[in-house]
């Protein structure tokens, strides 16, 4: 077996437990760890407000747990590296947040996560827990008109957490929080590009196979195939190739307001990502589209993979308000 990984870790079997311990020790005023793999707010939300919970495998830090905090998620349920948490653990979190106001469970469209979430929803129904599930599926790499079940959920979940969390904190009902978040879900689109490979930190093996002079637009966040491998392009060429289909997918046009996010996936620098943002911003502005303040940062990573995800969100006026509302999570703070 050929190992190519070079990481500062201890026992590969303890990666998730150790990273969650370190994370919650670093931000004790914002988050705490309960029952091994459930991260919750340090300051609990009042029970008369809707709880917002999400889930996902570890290895994608800061997602998902980095967005647990005031104004965003109430809890995250964490799986092992690149693996969905089991249904019993998701159900445990739903039991923990059972309340008359209800729970919104946000799930990214990946087979393992969806299976666990569906099983937990069945258990919750039998237990009399009021919960609605929202599935994110904004990846357009398979085609804009591809059926929802074949579109992956990528880093667009993060601004959606912000919108849903703010609506819940405002005191909206479960039906209202769901409608606001689902409308946002339907109006966002994401494309990813990978320029270098990443490794699975438990096995040390590469999970994608790109040559030194290649890139792949549309690659998924676990090395899944995308829209095709090509020779590497410049930042401007890459930005143009990605933002134009995103504009088409969201239906954004002159007079609309959008938010543009560049999510680094682990191995690309802020210099590269800001250059990409610059070109995409230029193209959107030339089309008469107004941009609210954007984000160029690492939100949902894939270990040391080089590349980024470009996320475009067409905003209704209430979405602008919820994005601007106060939040105090370890990796998203709005004053």
How far out from the chain centre does Cα 127 lie?
A: 29
Point out the catalytic residue in the list 2, 110, 200, 222.
Answer: 222
Angle at 223 between CA 112 and CA 165, to 5 degrees: 55
User: How many Å apart are CA 311 and CA 179, to the nearest integer?
Assistant: 21
- Helix/strand/coil percentages in the chain, nearest 5: 35, 25, 40
Let me know if 2 is a catalytic residue.
no
Q: CA 264 from chain center: how many Å?
A: 12
Rounded (10°) CA dihedral 247, 194, 8, 56: 50
Catalytic residue status for 222: yes
Cβ atoms 159, 259 nearer than 8 A: yes
Give the Cα separation of 149 and 169 in Å (integer): 30
Handedness of CA 74, 78, 82, 87 (dihedral sign): negative
Give bridge partners of residue 51 from the DSSP assignment: 103
**Scanning the structure block, which residue is given the tokens 């303890």?**
14
Annotated catalytic residues are 60, 222
């Amino acid at each position: 077996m050929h190992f190519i990984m070079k990481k500062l870790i201890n026992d590969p079997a303890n990666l998730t437990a150790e990273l969650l311990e370190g994370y919650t020790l670093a931000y004790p005023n914002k988050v705490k760890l309960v029952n091994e793999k459930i991260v919750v707010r340090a300051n609990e939300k009042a029970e008369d407000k809707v709880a917002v919970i999400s889930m996902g495998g570890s290895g994608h830090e800061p997602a998902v747990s980095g967005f647990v905090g005031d104004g965003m998620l109430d809890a995250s349920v964490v799986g092992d590296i690149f693996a969905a948490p089991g249904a019993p653990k998701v159900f445990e979190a739903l039991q923990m947040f059972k309340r008359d106001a209800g729970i919104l469970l946000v799930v990214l469209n990946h087979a393992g996560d969806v299976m666990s979430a569906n099983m937990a929803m069945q258990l919750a129904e039998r237990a009399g827990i009021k919960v609605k599930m929202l599935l994110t599926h904004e990846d357009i790499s398979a085609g804009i008109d591809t059926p929802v079940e074949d579109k992956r959920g990528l880093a667009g979940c993060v601004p959606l957490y912000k919108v849903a969390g703010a609506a819940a904190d405002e005191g909206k009902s479960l039906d209202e929080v769901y409608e606001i978040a689902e409308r946002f879900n339907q109006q966002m689109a994401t494309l990813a590009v990978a320029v270098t490979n990443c490794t699975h930190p438990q096995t040390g093996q590469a999970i994608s196979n790109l040559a030194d002079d290649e890139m792949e637009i549309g690659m998924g966040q676990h090395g899944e195939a995308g829209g095709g491998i090509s020779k590497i392009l410049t930042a401007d060429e890459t930005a143009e190739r990605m933002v134009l289909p995103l504009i088409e997918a969201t239906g954004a046009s002159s007079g609309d307001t959008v938010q543009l996010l560049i999510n680094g996936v682990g191995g690309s620098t802020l210099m590269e990502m800001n250059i990409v943002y610059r070109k995409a911003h230029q193209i959107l502005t030339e089309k008469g589209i107004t941009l609210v303040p954007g984000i160029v940062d690492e939100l949902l990573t894939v270990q040391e993979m080089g590349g980024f995800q470009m996320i475009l969100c067409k905003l209704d006026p209430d979405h602008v308000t919820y994005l601007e509302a106060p939040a105090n999570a370890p990796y998203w703070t709005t004053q």
